[in-house]
Structure 1
């Protein structure tokens, strides 16, 4: 990995009718976002698209033009509705066929006699793509330009992400601190806006929740790549929280 001055950005594209219908609960978005944030890549957008070629093509072309990386999950299995690889080949305007390298990987787990037409679909790779090894079940993903295509099964996706992570360009890691306001979001909105205006290079968010005692509360999250700017903003946020506590005290 290399430390870059400019932010490195990413989008996550999840492919699958089963996600959109609710039959399958996605477990990959949060994992990928947390993983990338930890290594200095900002996830800026997430799209969930159906198993429709034109929808996948449109999404990948839009996202790859906008962000440093696009991480795609799902739709690279052996069945008829696994059309991600074909769709991405179409998006890049390249051919797709059984890749000898991918076929050899499948044979590490599947006997030659069992390598039927359906299973061979998992070895079809767009021309010019690099393979993403799959230590779990051997069927590889692939990486073409800035688009990284991984399996939808969480354990396999996680293993693939570990494989590609050392090759990714990374930026300066976003630092973050959280403090409970011990107040409703409406109580902190005004003063928090003033603090945000005073620290324009820092991102400040408020996230309401219900505390264990059943009372409404708000987490205040301050983010910055600069430790000094983060500390300065947190100083003002803590002072605000203390001031509101005094005002709300019975």
Structure 2
């Protein structure tokens, strides 16, 4: 993993590909995991899009995202069936050819016998020209990285393996730090003073997250910043505000 110089923010987007996600037949289990892992290493996930298995829509979304963010992660659409068109769409977006890659074919043969490597399964070895392969320790069919685009499977277990393989190769920025304060109040009751604190700390993100506890409505206040000193100051003001609103013992 390469630590970025200075305070440069490293950004990312996720492009989820598949009719089954849009129809509700398959529930996405990848975006949250990707977001969590990127946050841990200092990469800001800024956008998530979901597109159908339609080449022109994949190409348009990919070209829009890859020119805007440091990295784009795609999930889904690199399997053996006719509607797995992600690899072809990525090749079209980059204007390169695509064919069976001998490296990818060799990886498949670690999992599939030569006699069973039919035309459909061989589709999983079709890689855009110039791409680097991403190892898949689960089923061997690789993902790939071309430019700033990282193409991964949609099956969560396989996607997780591919993500872990690629994370050490990424540039990273300063890690986002956070502190959580229990408000012991309804969100609407503290919105005003919380807004005043947020205005005094423009470099800090302050969010309120209501939930229902056993004793009734409550709110978690989450303070985030890459600057530990600024985080501490803002969190202290939030904590003091919360303490001042508590009834006397």
Instruction: Give the TM-score taking structure 1 as reference length.
Output: 0.97
Pairing partner for 1:162 from 161, 164, 186? 164
Aligned positions, number: 247
Alignment partner of 1:3 is 2:3: yes
For residue 148 of structure 1, what is the aligned residue in structure 2?
150
Specify which of 87, 92, 98 is matched with residue 85 of structure 1.
87
What secondary structure, in the 3-state scheme, does the structure 1 residue paired with 2:245 have?
A: helix
CA distance in 2, matches of 1:138, 1:219: 42
Give the secondary structure class of the aligned counterpart of 2:107.
Answer: helix
Distance in 2 separating the partners of 1:121 and 1:85 = 9
TM-aligned CA deviation for residue 243 of structure 1: 1.6
Equivalences for 1:56-135 in 2 at 5 Å? 56-135=58-137
Contact 2:13 2:69 (8 Å CA) reproduced: yes
Query: In the aligned structure 1, how far is the partner of 2:162 from the partner of 2:214?
Result: 38
Matched, 1:235 2:236: yes
Q: Distance in 1 between matches of 2:51 and 2:182?
A: 36
Q: Structure 1: any 5+ residue segments left out of the alignment?
A: none
Distance 1:160 1:120 in 2: 19
Q: Distance in 2 between matches of 1:212 and 1:91?
A: 52
Report the alpha carbon displacement of residue 212 of structure 1 after superposing the two structures with TM.
2.5
| Match of residue 223 from structure 1 | 224
Gaps in structure 2 of 5+ consecutive residues: none
Instruction: State the shift of 1:240 in Å.
Output: 0.7
Partner residue of 2:188 out of 186, 189, 199: 186
Find the partner of 2:206 among 197, 204, 207: 204
Structure 1 consecutive aligned stretches of length 4 or more whose deviation exceeds 2 Å: none
